[in-house]
Chains A and B, each alone.
Chain A
Amino acid sequence: MSREEIPREKLLWMYETMVRIRKSEEEASRHFAQGKIPGFVHLYAGEEAVAVGAMANLRDDDVITSTHRGHGHFIAKGGSLKEMWAELYGKRTGVCKGKGGSMHIADLRKGELGANGIVGGGIPHAVGAGLAFKLSKSDRVAVAFFGDGASNQQNFHEGLNLASIWKLPVIFICENNQYQISLHYSKQQAIRSVAERGSAYGVPGVEVDGQDVLAVYEVVREAVDRARRGEGPTLIEAKTYRYLGHFEGDPQVYRKREEVEWWKKNKDPIELFKRRLLDMGIAKEEELRDIDSRVEREVQDAVRFAEESPYPNPEELYEDVFSTPTRGVLVWKWGSEVRSHG
Chain B
Amino acid sequence: MGERIITFAEALNEALDIMMAKDEKVIVMGEDVGVYGGVFGVTKGLIEKYGPERVRDTPIAESGFIGAGVGAAAMGYRPVVELMFIDFLGVAFDQIYNQAAKIRYMFGGRAKIPMVLRTVAGAGFSAAAQHSQSLHSIFIHVPGLKVVMPSTPYDAKGLLIASIKDDDPVIFIEHKGLYGTKGPVPKDEYEVPLGVADVKRRGKDVTVVATAAMVHKSLAVAERLSREGIDVEVIDPRTLKPIDADMILSSIRKTGRLVVVDEGYPRCSFATDIAAMAASMAFKSLRAPVKLVTPPDTPVPFSPALEEKWIPSEADIEKAIRSTMEDK
Q: Which among B3-11, B134-142, B305-313 touches the partner chain?
A: B305-313
Chain B contacts of A188 at CB under 8 A?
A: 59-60
With contacts A180-B60, A253-B36 known, is A96 near B130, CB below 8 A?
Answer: no
Contact of B304 among A38, A99, A120, A180 (CB under 8 A): A38
Among residues 75 to 128 in chain A, which have CB atoms less than 8 Å away from a CB atom of chain B? 87, 90-92, 94, 96, 98-101, 103-104, 116-121
How long is the Cα–Cα vector from A121 to B90 in the complex, in angstroms? 10
What per-residue 1/0 map shows which CB atoms of B287-328 lie under 8 Å from chain A? 000011111111101111110011000000001100100000
Interface SS of B by simple majority:
loop
- Contact status B60-A90, CB under 8 Å: no
How long is the Cα–Cα vector from A152 to B62 in the complex, in angstroms? 9
Give the Cβ gap from A101 to chain B, nearest Cβ, in Å: 3
How long is the Cα–Cα vector from A326 to B298 in the complex, in angstroms? 16
Chain B contacts of A116 at CB under 8 A?
A: 130
Is B266 an interface residue, CB under 8 A from the partner? yes
- Contact status B305-A181, CB under 8 Å: no
Closest to A319 in B: B298
Is B199 an interface residue, CB under 8 A from the partner? no
How long is the Cα–Cα vector from A321 to B303 in the complex, in angstroms? 16
Contact of A317 among B31, B90, B301 (CB under 8 A): B301
Contact of B126 among A90, A94, A338 (CB under 8 A): A90
Contact of A39 among B36, B91, B125, B295 (CB under 8 A): B125
Closest to B266 in A: A332
With contacts A38-B304, A118-B90 known, is A103 near B57, CB below 8 A?
Answer: no
Contact count A vs B, C-beta below 8 Å: 154
- Contact status A332-B126, CB under 8 Å: no
Is B267 an interface residue, CB under 8 A from the partner? yes
Give the Cβ gap from A129 to chain B, nearest Cβ, in Å: 20
Among residues 119 to 144 in chain B, which have CB atoms less than 8 Å away from a CB atom of chain A? 125-131
Among residues 13 to 51 in chain B, which have CB atoms less than 8 Å away from a CB atom of chain A? 31-32, 34-36, 39
How long is the Cα–Cα vector from A149 to B91 in the complex, in angstroms? 15
How long is the Cα–Cα vector from A39 to B305 in the complex, in angstroms? 13
Give the Cβ gap from A26 to chain B, nearest Cβ, in Å: 21
Is A153 an interface residue, CB under 8 A from the partner? yes
Is B61 an interface residue, CB under 8 A from the partner? yes
Is A61 an interface residue, CB under 8 A from the partner? no
Chain A contacts of B191 at CB under 8 A?
A: none
Is A161 an interface residue, CB under 8 A from the partner? no
- Contact status A187-B57, CB under 8 Å: yes
With contacts A331-B296, A332-B297 known, is A99 near B36, CB below 8 A?
Answer: no
How long is the Cα–Cα vector from A152 to B64 in the complex, in angstroms? 10
- Contact status A101-B303, CB under 8 Å: yes
Number of interface residues of A (CB under 8 A): 50
- Contact status B125-A182, CB under 8 Å: no
- Contact status B294-A100, CB under 8 Å: no
- Contact status B35-A254, CB under 8 Å: yes
How long is the Cα–Cα vector from A330 to B129 in the complex, in angstroms? 18
- Contact status A318-B298, CB under 8 Å: yes
- Contact status B306-A312, CB under 8 Å: yes
Give the Cβ gap from B202 to chain A, nearest Cβ, in Å: 26
- Contact status A334-B292, CB under 8 Å: yes
- Contact status B127-A40, CB under 8 Å: yes
Contact of A103 among B60, B130, B299 (CB under 8 A): B130
Chain A contacts of B91 at CB under 8 A?
A: 118, 120-121, 153-155
What per-residue 1/0 map shows which CB atoms of B133-176 lie under 8 Å from chain A? 00000000000000000000000000000000000000000000
- Contact status B301-A99, CB under 8 Å: yes
Is B63 an interface residue, CB under 8 A from the partner? yes
How long is the Cα–Cα vector from A204 to B195 in the complex, in angstroms? 54
Chain A contacts of B244 at CB under 8 A?
A: none
- Contact status B302-A39, CB under 8 Å: yes
How long is the Cα–Cα vector from A330 to B299 in the complex, in angstroms? 13
Chain A contacts of B323 at CB under 8 A?
A: 335
Give the Cβ gap from B298 to chain A, nearest Cβ, in Å: 5
Is A191 an interface residue, CB under 8 A from the partner? no
- Contact status B310-A317, CB under 8 Å: yes
Is B198 an interface residue, CB under 8 A from the partner? no
How long is the Cα–Cα vector from A120 to B76 in the complex, in angstroms? 32
Is B88 an interface residue, CB under 8 A from the partner? yes
Closest to B310 in A: A317
State the 10 A-B residue pairs at the shortest beta-carbon distance, nearest first: A90-B303, A117-B130, A101-B302, A98-B303, A38-B126, A311-B305, A152-B59, A39-B126, A182-B36, A188-B59
7 contacting pairs across A/B (C-beta < 8 A): A103-B128, A154-B61, A318-B296, A331-B296, A333-B266, A334-B266, A334-B294
Starting from the known contacts A39-B125, A98-B303, A99-B303, 7 additional A-B residue pairs (CB-CB under 8 Å) come to A40-B127, A118-B90, A149-B59, A183-B31, A183-B32, A188-B60, A317-B309
